[in-house]
């Protein structure tokens, strides 16, 4: 017997975090009754999500690297024309590991492995994510130092990070946390506006020359290194 959210994630339906949101919304039922977060289940239980039976993914686990274009929403919502589910027409359900905001572009990891998703996103693990960022005016060493030390905004202070200037108004930044629209908020707090934001690396996975709106399967080497890291 395992917690319901973990069971839903391990079935390949969605990430564990998304499963918790589904349970909280009241659309998950187990054996004819509304489900709760502390409920434990196994394969003998009848689990329905929004009126549809939960069916484990067949065909094994899938791990894809996708170059998301700007304008695509990472929320898996069939009713949203901009949703990523309309771009990745895969043979079975997959979901993004974390989010990249709609205005940003670059590397996304897509999978049906809910346990891997949970381990990659867990805030205690501090996994690296690297971005190329362009802002609306020239930056200087003081800006880079302030970003690297951590920036305060909206009652939070970001964790120290690595930053390298690559042109007059652009830089690379490596974060080890995943706050919502973090880089945009950090820049805004320092008086800058982000005009372009691209994720180029997640842990050992690199975007390299993958074309926009194209996905590929992870190589065996990438997959092994990713699993060793988590």
123-155 pLDDT, tens per residue?
777 899 999 999 999 999 999 999 999 999 999
Per-residue pLDDT tens over the stretch 157-183: 999 999 999 999 999 999 999 889 999
CATH architecture of the domain formed by 129-202: 2-Layer Sandwich (3.30)
| Token pair listed for 93 | 């359900």
Q: How far apart are CA 213 and CA 66, in angstroms?
A: 7
Domain boundaries, the chain: 2-53, 63-123+210-229, 129-202
Question: Phi and psi at residue 136, in whole multiples of 5°?
Answer: -80, -5
Instruction: Indicate the CATH number for domain 63-123+210-229.
Output: 3.30.70.580
- pLDDT for the residue numbered 83: 80
pLDDT for 203 beyond 80: yes
User: Hey, do 2-53 and 63-123+210-229 end up sharing a CATH topology, with the first three levels equal?
Assistant: no
Per the annotation, the verdict on 101 as an active-site residue is: yes
- Give per-residue pLDDT as tens, 110-124: 998 888 888 888 777
Q: Among the CATH numbers 3.40.1000.10, 3.40.1710.10, 3.10.20.30, 3.10.290.10, which is that of 2-53?
A: 3.10.290.10
Name the active-site residue from 45, 73, 101, 220. Answer: 101
pTM over 0.95: no
């Amino acid at each position: 017997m395992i917690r319901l959210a973990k069971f839903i994630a391990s079935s390949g339906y969605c990430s564990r975090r998304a499963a918790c949101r589904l349970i909280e919304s009241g659309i998950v039922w187990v054996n004819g009754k509304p489900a709760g977060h502390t409920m434990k289940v196994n394969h003998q239980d009848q689990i329905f999500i929004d009126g549809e039976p939960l069916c484990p993914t067949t065909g094994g686990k899938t791990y894809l690297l996708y170059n998301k274009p700007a304008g695509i929403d990472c929320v898996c919502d069939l009713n949203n024309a901009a949703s990523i589910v309309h771009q990745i027409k895969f043979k079975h359900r997959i979901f993004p590991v974390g989010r990249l905001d709609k205005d940003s572009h670059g590397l996304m990891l897509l999978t049906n492995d809910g346990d891997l998703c949970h381990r990659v996103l867990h805030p205690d693990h501090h996994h690296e994510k690297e971005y190329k960022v362009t802002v609306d005016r020239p930056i200087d060493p003081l800006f880079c130092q302030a970003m690297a030390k951590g920036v305060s905004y909206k009652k939070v202070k970001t964790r120290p990070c690595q930053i390298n200037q690559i042109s007059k108004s652009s830089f690379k930044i490596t974060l080890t946390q995943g706050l919502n629209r973090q880089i945009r908020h950090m820049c805004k707090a320092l008086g800058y506006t982000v005009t372009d934001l691209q994720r180029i690396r997640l842990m050992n996975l690199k975007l390299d020359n993958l074309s926009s709106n194209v996905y590929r399967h992870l190589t065996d080497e990438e997959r092994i290194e990713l699993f060793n890291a988590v």
